[in-house]
Structure 1
Amino acid sequence: MKKLITAALIFAASATMAQSSLQEKRAEYAEIAESGSKAEKDVLAKELLQVARTSKDEGDLIFASNFIYRLGHENSADSIRKEVIRKFPKGVTARDAYIRGFYDLESTAEMEKKFKSWVKKWPMEKAEGDKLNYDYVLASMARTFAQEGNKEKAVMYVEQMNERFWRAQGYIPVATIFLQQGDTTAALPLIRTAIDDAEYYINLPKEQKDNKAGFAAVGYPGYVSQLAAVYDAQGKQVEALQLVEKAIALVPDQAPRFSAIYFKGLEAAGRKLEALQQLELLYKQGVFTHKDKMKELYTVLNGSEKGVENYFARLDEDVIKGIREHIKQMENYKPAPDFELLNLKGEKVSLASLKGKVVVLDFWATWCQPCIRSFPGMKAAQEMYANDGDVQFLFINTWERDKEYKTNVVDFITKNNYPFEVLYDDQKDAETGEVIAAKYGVKGIPAKFIIDEEGNIRYFLTGSSPNVDYIRLEMKELIEAAKQPKG
């Protein structure tokens, strides 16, 4: 949920800031907030505080508040927001503050009442160019009504969403709930709409594509795969195959993401060699769950099981070869910034104390879904080295925004039974005002660093895979390579 809220705020802020006289300075200020010295940040913070004291424009005040927050002055930013609400009781800041508690309401009756009073005071039709927050609330209500089994209201609210590039974020979760409840009739129109929306943005001329178009297209392979899976379950393999092949033709660079459903349609159509080729693609991505089906198709195509063990041995070699080629792109070599952070028990853990070991740093946050998706694989990798005293995994919790982040982190780790050594990245450097993530140059999470026994960063990678076996194999290659002397 927090990821979606964050994305919503980014788009909403963009719409608001387009009217701000400070907009032209955004890039300059962003660079200072990201990599400026403490002195530069203090000067900028002082300048923005002056803007906040003197400006009579809500856009300028929001702009100043957002950047003051990024500069690490959270209390000042909060004070400015409160002042904005006082000065502009009918403005966008007051509007968003009014609805903020909506997500903590427990009943649909309360949610509906809050929403109706909100749109009465701040009508959607008057928020031209700034309707994303309304869409997020509508999507949340629709999901809640769907979970309660009230399909009529779920559909009514989700169909009120305004932004075409965004509405799949409401349609798909509601459709998924309907499918879980066994109602494909209600689910299919929502999935088809999400697919149509994505295809609309994908088909736009290049010069018309923007961030919204890119965002809308991201989920397209997932939407298509979901609909194809429904068709497959209904025995409509022809429809499923046509749907997937149309999608592959439209986004050929995304073809590997369709393999899990594509092979089923190919097999049903009697195109067994192509079906096996799709499973081989999955296998090389570290998805080994279809091994029995691959063996079956191999046997049919070759007339016997003869040679099947050598066949899989070659595939295993290809997997490792692919991983080794992939990690070459992650090679790095520079001293790792030292740190001393507290773990969940309040004990100090420093990088210096681990010299002589290969250290795996994994920067993550509780709101980061890609981080969380990679954790089962990271757990498997850590367990693989459980008896190796020369390897240490550290999971560095960073960029948390909730004031109760420490409680949230402990609850998350405990609930999922992760045997991780977690450190809190909440100690700001006295000179730069930066946390450790910034010192390591982290721009996005998850971010992983492999540090050798001499304290040098040997590999740096971002992003994640949900494939447990692939992560385990990848981490093994990275760690073993870091054990070897450089050069």
Structure 2
Amino acid sequence: MNFRKLTICLGVVLVSQSAHAQLAKKDNLTFKEIQDRVNTLLESKDPLAKDSIKWEASHLIESKNEEYIKHGKSVFNFLGDSKSVDLAHQNLLKQFPKSDYAASASLDDILKNYTEPSSLDKDIATWTKRYKTLLKQASFADASYAKISNKLLANDAVAAAKKYAARITKEAPKATFAYNYAKQAYEKGDQATSVRLVEEIIQQYPGVLENNKYFAQQLYTLQAQLYSKQQKWKEALTLIEEQKIPLEDIKFQALMQTGRNFDAFLLLDARFAMTALSPIQEQEGPTLFKNLGSTAAQWEAYKQRIEQKKTKENETQWKNAMISEESIDFDLVDMDGKRVKSSDYKGKIIVIDFWATWCGPCVNSFPGMQAAVDKYKEDPEVVFLFINTWERGADYKTKVKSFIQEKGYRFHVVFDTMESDALVEKYGIKGIPTKIIIDKNGRVRFKSSGSSPVVKEILDEISYKIEMVKKSN
């Protein structure tokens, strides 16, 4: 278990505390004391720290304090202990049946089993009577009706969704529902409805847009996308530049369509220096060069020149990153239940990719890693091991296997121990994805983190490093 990751997810601050306090037996315990105690254990180097956290959390969920139970539940939820999470949930429902937690849980059950609007209306009516006191609180009522309306909207029951959304009193959740409706209409190709809703939000909820910058950026992003669909390039460009919206392709097209061809080239050139061109830039590149007085042949020459320059720079960087450190022996189990030992690969180059299903950058690099696996599949000198680590949940092996099968990756997946003595911890790795390349003599020659969704970038880097290791041996 990556204790540091858990600290970040809980969003708490590390401070020194007594290492032996028994939290749930204290009187008048503050929420901060619970946070501090858990974080002290998270930072501990003691291999029994995880058991200590579970021990403390188990006392919390058995307490008579609603907040203690909730916090214990959150700890178990992160640790992937579903049985303890369910126990905490049942304790909350049993001890506090009229609480907002119980009411929200009941509503979640209703929405989870939702089939069609009329049956939902009956269930919501019963639920409303049961929790009528709580529904007098505007914040709880608004959150509940927003949850109902958005669920109905997601199920295309627009009329019913509007009915419940009309019960919302505060502007922020009203605006959010309208945005969700506008976004759904856009995705379904109903531009007229989406445009109308976006304009209504801007007119009716200026305060929400002023106070919630994240919401404002979402809305203006949608508006810029609508402008591009309508080919209102001047309006789209003005909005993107004023609001600093990261819609690179639309901005690129808008710059070309409004005659700002050199600015379009600067945008393309800045991206190309860092990564691959987008499909739109690749497609419009010849036209852009023509607008600038150049030819299609000059466009191809430009691309070749930039690719050569990047390759040379990358190779220099990769060459300078070469190291020579002792590798760490391992004895693990793969996705098929077979033992995988480092000694099995003596005399081979081993490419190790530490990853987890929840890690977006890990998954983003997989198409490139698959290309690398395919390139070297006939090479008897090279093996790839995708070591799944820092995974969450007791059923992580099933989840990992389903993920790999669903995506169709042909990887040799090996499971780390998921404990304090995990291989990822022994290597001192602080973040994933991290890739390690071990030479035939058992020495680590490359150790790098980072990711790219561009297949060529991953393939070029892995290939170059493998060939360098071959030469060094």
Bin of the TM-score, shorter chain as denominator length: 0.7 to 0.9
SS class of match (2:48): helix
CA distance in 1, matches of 2:85, 2:427: 26
CA distance in 2, matches of 1:259, 1:485: 42
Could you say which residue in structure 1 is the equivalent of 2:448?
A: 460
Could you say which residue in structure 1 is the equivalent of 2:115?
A: 107
Could you say which residue in structure 2 is the equivalent of 1:184?
A: 191
- Cα gap change, 1:303/1:40 in structure 2, threshold over 3 Å: closer, same or farther? closer
Q: 2:257 aligns with which of 247, 252, 268?
A: 268
- Cα gap change, 1:411/1:46 in structure 2, threshold over 3 Å: closer, same or farther? closer
Q: 2:106 aligns with which of 91, 94, 98?
A: 98
- Cα gap change, 1:26/1:126 in structure 2, threshold over 3 Å: closer, same or farther? same
CA distance in 2, matches of 1:166, 1:479: 53
CA distance in 2, matches of 1:196, 1:480: 60
- Any residues of structure 2 matched to 1:167-178 within 5 Å, and which? 174-178=181-185
Could you say which residue in structure 1 is the equivalent of 2:269?
A: 280
SS class of match (2:306): helix
- Cα gap change, 1:77/1:241 in structure 2, threshold over 3 Å: closer, same or farther? closer
Matched, 1:139 2:135: no
CA distance in 2, matches of 1:326, 1:138: 53
- Cα gap change, 1:42/1:171 in structure 2, threshold over 3 Å: closer, same or farther? same
Give percent identity, aligned residues only: 25
CA distance in 1, matches of 2:325, 2:144: 43
Return the offset for 1:301: 1.3
Asked if the contact 1:363–1:396 (Cα under 8 Å) also holds between the matched residues in 2, the reply is yes
Could you say which residue in structure 1 is the equivalent of 2:32?
A: 23
Return the offset for 1:57: 1.6
Asked if the contact 1:364–1:397 (Cα under 8 Å) also holds between the matched residues in 2, the reply is yes
Asked if the contact 1:363–1:437 (Cα under 8 Å) also holds between the matched residues in 2, the reply is no
- Cα gap change, 1:49/1:293 in structure 2, threshold over 3 Å: closer, same or farther? closer
- Any residues of structure 2 matched to 1:36-435 within 5 Å, and which? 36-53=45-62, 55-68=63-76, 70=78, 75-101=83-109, 104-105=112-113, 107-109=115-117, 117-118=126-127, 121-122=130-131, 123=134, 126=137, 128=139, 138-145=149-156, 150-154=157-161, 174-188=181-195, 216=214, 220=217, 224-248=220-244, 257-284=246-273, 285-289=275-279, 290-305=281-296, 307-320=298-311, 338-355=329-346, 356-365=348-357, 370-398=361-389, 401=392, 405-425=396-416, 427-429=417-419, 432=420
2:433 maps to a residue whose letter is A
Asked if the contact 1:287–1:469 (Cα under 8 Å) also holds between the matched residues in 2, the reply is no
2:195 maps to a residue whose letter is L
CA distance in 1, matches of 2:464, 2:447: 11
Asked if the contact 2:255–2:263 (Cα under 8 Å) also holds between the matched residues in 1, the reply is yes
Q: Deviations over 1:136-180 (max 9, x none)?
A: 5653432222xxxx4334455678789988999876665443224
CA distance in 1, matches of 2:199, 2:298: 43
Return the offset for 1:267: 0.6
Could you say which residue in structure 1 is the equivalent of 2:433?
A: 447
CA distance in 2, matches of 1:404, 1:301: 58
CA distance in 2, matches of 1:389, 1:66: 47
Return the offset for 1:306: 5.2
- Cα gap change, 1:68/1:10 in structure 2, threshold over 3 Å: closer, same or farther? closer
SS class of match (2:352): strand
Return the offset for 1:451: 3.0
CA distance in 2, matches of 1:447, 1:483: 23
1:231 maps to a residue whose letter is Y
Asked if the contact 1:135–1:162 (Cα under 8 Å) also holds between the matched residues in 2, the reply is no
Asked if the contact 1:68–1:74 (Cα under 8 Å) also holds between the matched residues in 2, the reply is yes
Q: Deviations over 1:39-71 (max 9, x none)?
A: 344444434444444x43210122233335556
CA distance in 1, matches of 2:141, 2:46: 35
Return the offset for 1:270: 0.8
CA distance in 2, matches of 1:485, 1:308: 38
- Cα gap change, 1:385/1:224 in structure 2, threshold over 3 Å: closer, same or farther? farther
Q: Deviations over 1:112-138 (max 9, x none)?
A: 655565555454563848976875565
SS class of match (2:255): helix
CA distance in 1, matches of 2:319, 2:144: 42
- Cα gap change, 1:482/1:72 in structure 2, threshold over 3 Å: closer, same or farther? farther
Asked if the contact 2:145–2:165 (Cα under 8 Å) also holds between the matched residues in 1, the reply is no
Q: 1:32 aligns with which of 27, 41, 44?
A: 41
Asked if the contact 2:331–2:339 (Cα under 8 Å) also holds between the matched residues in 1, the reply is yes
- Cα gap change, 1:332/1:321 in structure 2, threshold over 3 Å: closer, same or farther? same
Q: Deviations over 1:461-486 (max 9, x none)?
A: 24x44433444344445555666759
- Cα gap change, 1:482/1:37 in structure 2, threshold over 3 Å: closer, same or farther? farther
Give the TM-score of the pair, scaled to structure 2: 0.73
Structure label with greater radius of gyration: 2
- Cα gap change, 1:311/1:68 in structure 2, threshold over 3 Å: closer, same or farther? closer
Which range is displaced more, 334-343 or 80-89? 334-343
2:255 maps to a residue whose letter is L
- Cα gap change, 1:90/1:439 in structure 2, threshold over 3 Å: closer, same or farther? farther
2:239 maps to a residue whose letter is L
